[in-house]
Each structure stands twice: as structure tokens, then as C-alpha cells.
Structure 1
Amino acid sequence: MTKKTLSLVSREFVGFEKSFQLQADHFAAIHPEMQVNRTFWEIHTLYDRMVTEQKVFSADHDLFLCVTDWLPELIKMKGLVPLNTYLENDPPEDWPNGWASSMKQLQTDQDGTIYGIAYHDGPEMFLYREDLFNDPNEQEAFAGKYGYPLQVPSTWSQFLDVAKFFTRPDQDLYGCVLAGYPDGHNNVYDFLIHLWSRGGELVDQNWNPSFNSTIGKEALQYLVNLYTTENVLPPHAREMDSVATGHYFAKGHAAMMWNWCGFAAMAEIPELSNIVGKTKTTVIPRGDNPEARHMSLNIYWVLTIPEGSKNKDAAYQFIKETASKSMDKITSQCGGNGTRLSTWRDPEIIESFPYYSMIEEVHKNVNSPLPIPEYPAINELLSTMVDDAINGRESIDRALVKAEQAIREILQKSGYIRPASVGGEE
């Protein structure tokens, strides 16, 4: 019997490769006439091919694991198959109440059309080595040097003290690790987290860019200093993406990082980690100013059906099966981060990956990038801004001004900024 083949394309990540392998095997066991081939690309390549080159309209792929940042642009170009009819006639297990509202919003258009089911979740959390923080010798040494107790940092000023304290290159240990690779992913999200956690915003209520402000300058300067003058990061941090930093942390080379909470799961997998049982998670630090707040970033990855797929019905069946309780749990067990409430509350998952006990709480105070089709272009400008500042190609002030001007042009051209709201801004 000749099998029908479904083609799935995803971002490169060992957790996705492992979970999709098991989920494809499960699907083939239920549908012996089907097989699921899987392709994994670096994140920039994935965007370029599927969105910029509009491969969503080709017959090359039947399933596309897509990050929510890209959905408004894809929805505008009608590049994804609406799932409402499928969901009404043949819904996944416990749909829609089996997911938190934050896991259903970003793939739903303003008219209620749904374009995907959440597969892998953020949000970002603060990860730290509990064994280091609880060590009596470390506590005594820190208090003697800084004059206050060693504790998980609540503010960015405390974070910097702790990062400096734990930076010991001769022991291959650094205070923190960040993903400086300019892929428009964590380098942008790190800036947004620093902006939001100090009380800033990317745009104001009239859609005018508002990040070139005192708070925005403080946020970008702090981030740049971590890479350039504070000496608390590994030397190759500028070449690392989020996945590389997750591996680096799991190998025990950093005391702290803020990153996607799924990397706390990686730190608990023996074949990937040297610090099993030593990682804890909490809220991300905030600024020291009165407007500061603990904030996290909410984006997530959704399984979608490209418009060009010739096997749309079968592709939906894969999405439905993969969204089940058992398959979502497998996503978490393989190092990803399941998206169902059942997974977040599963005693076995919480025992293996304790950070799951905090996910619902963190989701109560999250922010997301601008939900507009133009955001990917804005994201690239922010990525360039951060990368230019980190690598000294532009001053902090000049990088912010250039990004502000370019983003304003995009928002004006697209009609978000009304002419009356611009007066006095320039």
C-alpha cells in the first residue's frame, strides 16, 4: 500500500524534533495509510521561505509550525487555512475550554476566525541555579561583598550584583547568559522585556512610537552594558540564539537567565543537562523606578495548515491528534512546553518540571508584540537597533532615533498614526 505523505515544517529545536517524531509515530499508528515527514529550519530561514517567499501557497508543506508574531501578516495575505469549520465539526479533546484564554487569542483574527492550535508555549520566566543561591559559602561571600543577603533578584540592579558575583570564567561559570544572535527573536524580546519591566511601551495609545524615551534609553543601555562592559556574559553570547543559550544553561555554565520557560524543562532532562534538580523559576526582575513592574512576554508556536496544502483534511487530523492531552504532554516531556491546562496541572509534569506550577500565574501579567501585519518589518528594525547598539555600530541615542523614525514611517504609511496625532512629535 502506497502511503499518503504529510509534510510538516518547523523551527530547528531538539525538543520539537523529538516530540514531532513521537507524535508522527502516534498519528501513523492511528492512520496507517499516512506518514508525516518533518523538516526543520533555522528561524530566519523558516520566516523567509514560508512568509517572505510565500511558500505557504505552494504544495510543498501541509503543516507549518508558526510563531504568533507572524500570524497577522500571514492572515492578511490569506496564507493559512481557517480552522473554524473543522473545530466546529470535529474539535480536539476538550476544545476550547482545555486551554487558557492566553493560548487562544493570538491565532484568532478580529472576526473570530481561528488559524491554528497552540503547540509550544512561552512565556518567558526567570531561571536560576538554586544550588548556587542556597550554598552557605556563597551566601556568606556575597553578603560580605555587597552588604545584603544573596537572594533571587527582584530588580535589575540586584540582578547585576548577582551576575557579577557569579561570573567566574576560570570555572567556566558566568553570571548569566543571553541570546545576542540577531535573528529578530530573543534580541528583540530582551529589549521589550527591559522596556516593559521599567514601565515603558513600544507605542502610545495613538500608535506613535514611544520607546525612544528616558525609559527606553535606560532599557537599551542596560542590555548593551551586559554585553560590553559588565563582563557577566560568556564571550560568544552575541553568536548564541535562544536554543543555544538553553543548552548552555542546562550544561551548568550560567547562574541565571531569563528565557522561554521550556528551557527549564531542558535543564531537567538528564541527557541534555548537568544540573538536573538544581533549577528554579520565578518572575522576571523589574526596574527600580516607580513605574516598574514584573512583566513577561507571551508569544507561542501554533500548528497551522498552509493554504497551498493538497492534504488539508488529513493535516487537520494531525493537528487534532497532536492537540490531545496525551500528545500535548509528550511535547512537554520532550523538552518543549505544552499548551493545555491539563499539561500545566499534570502532577507528573510538575514533579519533573516544577516551573509548570507557575505558568498560569505568569500568564496573568504578560504582554505581546504588536498584533499587526506590519510587525515583522518593525521587528527587523528593532533587531537591527539592538544589534547595532550591542556591537557599537551606533550609539544608544542614534540607534533609538533611527528605529523610531523607520517604525513611525511604517505606522504612518499603514494608517495607524493619524496626522493629528503626530503634531509636536518630531
Structure 2
Amino acid sequence: MDKIRIAVRKFEPFETTLQKLWDRFCKSRNIKIEAEMIPLELHDLYDETLTKNGLQNGSWDIAHLNTDWIFDAVNAGAVENLSAFIKEQAPDNFPEGWHESLLHLQQINEGVYGLPFHDGPECLIFRRDLFQNEAEQKEFKKQYGYDLKPPKTWHQFVQMAQFFNRPEENLYGCVFANYPDGHNMVFDFCLQLWTRGGALVGDENKININQPEAIKALDFYRAIVNNETTTHPKSKEFGSVEAGMAFAKGEAAMAINWFGFASMCEVIKESKVKGKVDITELPHDSNYSSASLNVYWLYTIGTGSNNKKLAYDFLRFATSVESDKLLTNEGGIGCRKSTWNDSDINKIIPYYHKLGMLHENALTLPQTPIWPKVAELIDQMVLKAINENTASKLLLEETQKKINEITKE
């Protein structure tokens, strides 16, 4: 065996963690095998592993896949069922060591097709130092007539974003990730829909976005993204990583992003807001409750791999208590309960224990083979909404017709 090939989601904490884990794994097993780790952006990662059949033809032994893709991957026969490996030698404290919400999306047709790698549901990330500043609190109450606290409603979110929007200080009220990669804007649309009482799946278990709640969601989102008095001007260029970095550099008072970008603020050298950040639930419509979105990353093994036993041994090693904590210290988000409650981690990231709370109201996307195509349509719809003037109602009707066509096919 010359080497093992790993398709890695491009993100520095993932890359540094994997290299350290592989080096430790080889040392602990007294083996010398090269791991070729190729960092790939989202679209490239999907293309290399699934579109080009890289997991089936042996090009990749191990791949990072997110749970948006796992149903698709299983139906394509691209990822190995790990059940037999787990039965023979399960990861430490499996499955009790993980929250149930991190185990069910990869369990398909009684098989287990991946192990949790990186997580962190969507949440509201905010500058605690700004919100707790007495002068800011006094001025906010003077202007708006109520206390400055993390916003409970979307109406409050807009007012607070306007209050903290100070372009002359390179500080903006909020930042979004609007780069059209089939993910960020899709997730934001879903969150806006859910926090207004809407649902993605309607009658007969079919995806239906043509609903009054969706009109409100899209109207609000396109307005806030284009609002120069609230929003970071580079939001339309940012993916989630870039938006997370802008927040870490102190360029925004609030962000709606993955929990991982909050914790990143405490551990990366570029951060200018260490010790100044906190997280809470997302705002919601005044008549409804908060929601979160749980999409997580998995370690998977390709069905075409000739190194499945070695690959699984590495997956067990990479998801151990110690390895999960290492990922967190590098800037990723460990998936084990032990990491969430670890005293060392919570000293560095004081809100880490709140992950359990976020998982309690975290929703998931529909598990259907057509979801990647539906996500692409929603992405295009939101992109049109923020860049054009077509009414939200028409955009939703047009997109729903296309979804119906895919469903028939």
C-alpha cells in the first residue's frame, strides 16, 4: 500500500487537525503510510467524490461528506456501510457518546454510512462586549425605548443591526453569507421560513415552498441583505467561512452562522474578538418560536477503496474523545458530548456547553434523492431575490413549479 487518499472539506482547522491525527495514528500503530489529503471547496468536493464517482472508483479512500449529501451518496452506492466494522469494533462509547441528532441522518436502511466529524448548528452569534456596554445600553434605550439584549424577534434584530452599523469604524450591524454555493442562502431561507411557522415538507411528504410564510421569509431576507444601514457590504461575496472571518475580525455586531464560527473567534490567531463573543437562539417572528438547522459533516469510506480496514481504523481513532477535543482546539467543532462539557474547552470557549441547547430545537433538511437539485433551485431563487426586483410571490411560484417537475421525474 503506497498511500491513502482523503478528500477534505477545505478549511484550515480541518486540514491541520487531519494531518496531526494521521501522524498520531501512524505513530500509535507503528506504521508508515502516506496520507494524501486534498482540500476541496464545496462544489469541488461534491464533484470529486460523487459526480465523478471518486468514492466508487477508488480515487478516494476517505471523504468528508455533509449530511445534505449522504442520502444521495448511499443511493448511488458511493459510501461503505460501516455496520459490520462497528459491530466488530465500535468507536469508544458508541452511540451514547453523541447526541442522537448527530447519529440519525447517516443511518439509512438500517445501515450506518459515516461517523460524525464536525458540527455546530446555526445560531445567532453576537458581540457580548457591545451588548453589555453601559453606554451602548443607555443610548439604545434612548433611541428605541427598550433594553438592549440579544434580539428575540426579527424586528428587534433589524433595529439592533441599525444601531450598531458604523461603517466609519468598519463595524456593521450584521453579516450574511450570500455566495451562491447551494448552501448558505438555502439554509438562511429555511431558517427564515421555520422561524415564521412555515415548513419545507407539505402534504403527501412533498417539498412545498409556495406558502405565505415563505413570502414573508423571502421578503425579509432580501430586504436585510440589501439594507445598507444594517448589513456588511461584502455579504454578497462571502461564503460562510468568509462571513465567519469578517465577524472574527470585528467587522460585525451580529451574525447568523454555524456555531463553529463563534468558537473560531476564541482560537484563531486572526481573531480580534476573543473573549467578546456569545451565542444564543435565532430570532423569530413574534408569533412563533426559534429554530436551528443541523447539518453536520461525516467521515465516510468509499465503496471503491482497497484500504477499508485501515480507513475504518483511522475513523475510530479520529473520532475518539481525545481527537474530538483536538479538532475543537484547532478551530473545528467536536461532536462528542464529552467535548461540549469539557472544562478546558469551556474555559477557552465559555459558551461551548450551549451546543446541547441548540440541538434541542435543531431541524434537518428533507432526506430525499432530489434534495441537492431542490437546494440548487432555492439557491437560484434567493440569488434572484437579492439581486432583482421580481416579487417574492412570483419567485416562489416559479421555483415550486420546477420542484414539482423534478418530483415527477
Q: TM-score range by the shorter chain?
A: over 0.9
Pair 1:270–1:118, CA change in 2 (3 A)? closer
For 1:334, the aligned partner's letter is E
1:276 maps to which residue?
274
The correspondence of residues 36-51 of structure 1 with structure 2, limited to 5 A, is 36-51=35-50
- Structure 1, gaps ≥5 residues long: 414-426
- Is 2:160 aligned against 1:186? no
Q: Given that residues 49 and 60 in structure 2 are in contact (C-alpha distance below 8 angstroms), is that contact kept between their aligned partners in structure 1?
A: no
1:53 maps to which residue?
52
- Is 2:305 aligned against 1:309? yes
The correspondence of residues 150-299 of structure 1 with structure 2, limited to 5 A, is 150-229=148-227, 231-288=229-286, 290=287, 292-299=288-295
The C-alpha deviation readout for 1:351-396, integer Å capped at 9, x for no partner, is 1112221111211111111111111011101111111111116432
Which of 359, 362, 368 is the matching residue for 2:358?
A: 362
For 2:186, the aligned partner's letter is V
For residues 401 and 27 of structure 1, the distance between their equivalents in structure 2, rounded to whole angstroms, comes to 52
2:119 maps to which residue?
121
1:334 maps to which residue?
330
Q: 1:204, CA displacement in angstroms? A: 0.9
2:102 maps to which residue?
103
Q: 1:270, CA displacement in angstroms? A: 4.8
SS in 2 for 1:7: strand
Q: 1:298, CA displacement in angstroms? A: 0.5
Q: Given that residues 175 and 255 in structure 1 are in contact (C-alpha distance below 8 angstroms), is that contact kept between their aligned partners in structure 2?
A: yes
Q: Given that residues 164 and 230 in structure 1 are in contact (C-alpha distance below 8 angstroms), is that contact kept between their aligned partners in structure 2?
A: no
For 1:283, the aligned partner's letter is E
For residues 267 and 121 of structure 2, the distance between their equivalents in structure 1, rounded to whole angstroms, comes to 20
Q: Given that residues 207 and 411 in structure 1 are in contact (C-alpha distance below 8 angstroms), is that contact kept between their aligned partners in structure 2?
A: no
SS in 1 for 2:360: coil
For residues 38 and 394 of structure 1, the distance between their equivalents in structure 2, rounded to whole angstroms, comes to 44
For residues 205 and 91 of structure 1, the distance between their equivalents in structure 2, rounded to whole angstroms, comes to 39
Q: Given that residues 296 and 362 in structure 1 are in contact (C-alpha distance below 8 angstroms), is that contact kept between their aligned partners in structure 2?
A: yes
1:424 maps to which residue?
none
SS in 2 for 1:74: helix
1:418 maps to which residue?
none
Pair 1:63–1:208, CA change in 2 (3 A)? closer
Q: Given that residues 202 and 209 in structure 1 are in contact (C-alpha distance below 8 angstroms), is that contact kept between their aligned partners in structure 2?
A: yes
- Is 2:62 aligned against 1:66? no
Which of 372, 377, 398 is the matching residue for 1:376?
A: 372
Q: 1:202, CA displacement in angstroms? A: 1.2
For residues 92 and 202 of structure 1, the distance between their equivalents in structure 2, rounded to whole angstroms, comes to 34
For residues 137 and 305 of structure 1, the distance between their equivalents in structure 2, rounded to whole angstroms, comes to 54
SS in 2 for 1:59: coil
For 1:391, the aligned partner's letter is N
SS in 2 for 1:127: strand
For 1:53, the aligned partner's letter is K
Which of 380, 388, 391 is the matching residue for 1:392?
A: 388
For residues 403 and 317 of structure 1, the distance between their equivalents in structure 2, rounded to whole angstroms, comes to 44
Scaled by the length of structure 1, the TM-score of the pair is 0.93
For residues 395 and 53 of structure 1, the distance between their equivalents in structure 2, rounded to whole angstroms, comes to 38
- Structure 2, gaps ≥5 residues long: none
Q: Given that residues 4 and 33 in structure 1 are in contact (C-alpha distance below 8 angstroms), is that contact kept between their aligned partners in structure 2?
A: no
Q: 1:53, CA displacement in angstroms? A: 2.0
Q: 1:122, CA displacement in angstroms? A: 2.2
Q: 1:158, CA displacement in angstroms? A: 0.4
Q: 1:112, CA displacement in angstroms? A: 1.4
Q: 1:232, CA displacement in angstroms? A: 1.5
Identity value in percent:
36
SS in 2 for 1:267: helix
1:406 maps to which residue?
402
Q: 1:55, CA displacement in angstroms? A: 1.6
The C-alpha deviation readout for 1:50-71, integer Å capped at 9, x for no partner, is 2222222122211100000001
Aligned-CA RMSD value: 1.3
SS in 1 for 2:135: helix
For residues 369 and 8 of structure 2, the distance between their equivalents in structure 1, rounded to whole angstroms, comes to 21
Q: Given that residues 56 and 77 in structure 2 are in contact (C-alpha distance below 8 angstroms), is that contact kept between their aligned partners in structure 1?
A: no
For 2:264, the aligned partner's letter is M
Q: Given that residues 251 and 272 in structure 1 are in contact (C-alpha distance below 8 angstroms), is that contact kept between their aligned partners in structure 2?
A: yes
1:24 maps to which residue?
22
Q: 1:408, CA displacement in angstroms? A: 1.7
More deviation, 184-193/265-274: 265-274
Which of 6, 21, 25 is the matching residue for 1:8?
A: 6
2:79 maps to which residue?
80
For residues 209 and 402 of structure 1, the distance between their equivalents in structure 2, rounded to whole angstroms, comes to 14
Q: Given that residues 71 and 373 in structure 1 are in contact (C-alpha distance below 8 angstroms), is that contact kept between their aligned partners in structure 2?
A: no
Q: 1:196, CA displacement in angstroms? A: 0.4
More deviation, 394-403/329-338: 394-403
Q: 1:230, CA displacement in angstroms? A: 5.0
Q: Given that residues 59 and 308 in structure 1 are in contact (C-alpha distance below 8 angstroms), is that contact kept between their aligned partners in structure 2?
A: yes
For residues 99 and 318 of structure 1, the distance between their equivalents in structure 2, rounded to whole angstroms, comes to 18
More deviation, 91-100/164-173: 91-100
For residues 395 and 18 of structure 1, the distance between their equivalents in structure 2, rounded to whole angstroms, comes to 45
Number of paired residues? 408
Q: Given that residues 15 and 331 in structure 1 are in contact (C-alpha distance below 8 angstroms), is that contact kept between their aligned partners in structure 2?
A: yes
Q: Given that residues 108 and 115 in structure 1 are in contact (C-alpha distance below 8 angstroms), is that contact kept between their aligned partners in structure 2?
A: yes
